[in-house]
């Protein structure tokens, strides 16, 4: 039995509008949330046109000319803007009947290409029981016929499986939102012993160590440590409605000071040319479906939003510095003087779902 996708009703009209405006085909992303029982798609976003395509609403006439790199870049930017609990859950293509035969192969290539691109940037690993199916939606621009299939992105040899596509009104209107704030104080040494150990790798290593602390942290929800029970257990429904009056904001994150005797580490002395200190507060938000959500699902969504938020902001903050370092992996002496963070940098409202500030100081 294939998966069932519950889809926001407005998406149907959005896809219909695209089918009349763009010929011979148009591609885009499907945004949503997956769970063990149901999958939800709450938004569809078409691939933005490149500069040379902005004059008219036409695409190249052959599917072989689909620019995977451009679609991957779009998926990466969209993924950066998504709050916890939401992800790029699939792709769609609206094509003329003449191109329909090759559309499924094009969708398969795009799905695996996007997943490979997004996986490279992640600091967390998917859980073993996590749903790895991604949706491939094919729409005929002439007949408006919809064909939905899924591919397992964890299996490179995965074949297409049929899936149901069901529209539902106000799908996400009563979803739960969870808010938390995490104080950040990360010290990243810049090693001098390895000339090839560049800035980007140093930052990545430092964030990897910090992300493991977040993954091992304990979350208090309304002052309690909850096991894998239903998140809404004990909550009251609104009168005459199936919706819950719930916005959980009393969430505290407790990180472990040590990893216990089973994970002992040995102190080492390293020669460094400088260091980077990341200090500030990360305010994050995650959304969870209201179909008997589990505490485990909510905590996982929050953890990933915390990790993704800091990782994305560091990419933005250090982007120019890393580019200036050049493709030849120049030594740190080449960037040490031109770019020094001596003042407080405040990054506010970069993404709608997350407001945070980051102070970064480089000590030479």
pLDDT digits (tens, 9 = 90+) for 35-86: 887 899 999 999 998 876 665 555 566 787 789 999 999 999 999 999 999 9
Q: Give the pLDDT of residue 60.
A: 61
Distant-in-sequence contacts of 230-233, Cβ < 8 A, 24+ apart: 230/292, 230/293, 230/294, 230/295, 231/176, 231/288, 231/293, 231/294, 231/295, 231/297, 231/298, 232/176, 232/290, 232/292, 232/293
Strands 247-248 and 176-191 turn out to be: parallel
Mean pLDDT of the chain: 79
Q: How confident is the model over 330-353, as pLDDT tens digits? A: 443 333 322 222 222 222 222 222
pLDDT score of 54 = 60
Mean pLDDT value of segment 182-205: 79
pLDDT reported for residue 354: 29
Give pTM, 2 decimals: 0.81
148-166: pLDDT as tens digits: 999 999 998 989 999 999 9
For residue 34 the two structure tokens come to: 């997956």
Helix (H/G/I), strand (E/B), else coil: 63: helix
Return the minimum-mean-pLDDT range out of 75-84, 285-294, 323-332.
323-332
Residues 6+ apart with CB under 8 A from 147: 104, 137, 138, 139
What phi and psi, each to the nearest 5 degrees, are found at residue 2?
-80, 175
Q: Which 8-state DSSP code applies to residue 48?
A: P
Higher pLDDT, 247 or 6: 6
Higher pLDDT, 190 or 14: 14
Percent of the chain scoring above 70 in pLDDT: 76
What proportion of the chain, given as a percentage, has pLDDT over 90?
A: 38
Q: Nearest Cα to 47, choosing from 6, 12, 94?
A: 94
């Amino acid at each position: 039995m294939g998966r069932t996708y519950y889809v926001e009703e407005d998406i149907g009209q959005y896809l219909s509008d695209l089918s009349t405006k763009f010929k011979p085909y148009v591609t885009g992303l499907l945004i949503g949330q997956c769970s063990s029982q149901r999958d939800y798609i709450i938004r569809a976003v078409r691939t933005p046109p490149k500069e040379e395509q902005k004059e008219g609403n036409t695409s190249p006439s052959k599917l072989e000319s689909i620019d995977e790199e451009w679609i991957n870049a779009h998926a990466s930017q969209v993924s950066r803007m998504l709050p916890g609990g939401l992800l790029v859950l699939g792709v769609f293509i609206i094509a003329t009947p003449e191109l329909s035969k090759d559309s499924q192969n094009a969708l398969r290539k795009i799905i695996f290409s996007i997943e490979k691109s997004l996986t490279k940037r992640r600091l967390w690993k998917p859980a073993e029981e996590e749903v790895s199916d991604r949706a491939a939606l094919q729409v005929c621009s002439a007949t408006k016929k919809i064909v939905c299939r899924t591919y397992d992105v964890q299996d490179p040899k995965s074949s297409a499986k049929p899936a149901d596509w069901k529209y539902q009104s106000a799908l996400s209107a009563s979803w739960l939102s969870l808010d938390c704030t995490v104080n950040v104080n990360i010290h990243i040494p810049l090693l001098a012993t390895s000339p090839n150990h560049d800035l980007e790798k140093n930052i990545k290593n430092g964030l990897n160590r910090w992300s493991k602390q977040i993954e091992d942290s304990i979350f208090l929800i309304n002052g309690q440590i909850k096991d894998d029970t239903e998140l809404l257990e004990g909550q009251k429904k609104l009168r005459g409605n199936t919706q819950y009056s719930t916005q959980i904001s009393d969430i505290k994150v407790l990180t472990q000071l040590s990893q216990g005797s089973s994970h002992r580490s040995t102190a080492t002395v390293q020669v460094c040319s400088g260091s980077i200190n990341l200090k500030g507060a990360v305010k994050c938000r995650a959304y969870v479906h209201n179909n008997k959500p589990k505490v485990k699902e909510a905590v996982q969504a929050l953890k990933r939003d915390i990790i993704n938020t800091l990782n994305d902001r560091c990419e933005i903050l250090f982007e120019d510095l890393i580019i200036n370092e050049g493709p030849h992996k120049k030594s740190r002496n080449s960037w040490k003087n031109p770019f020094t963070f001596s003042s407080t940098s405040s990054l506010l409202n970069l993404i709608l779902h997350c407001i945070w500030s980051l102070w970064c100081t480089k000590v030479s």
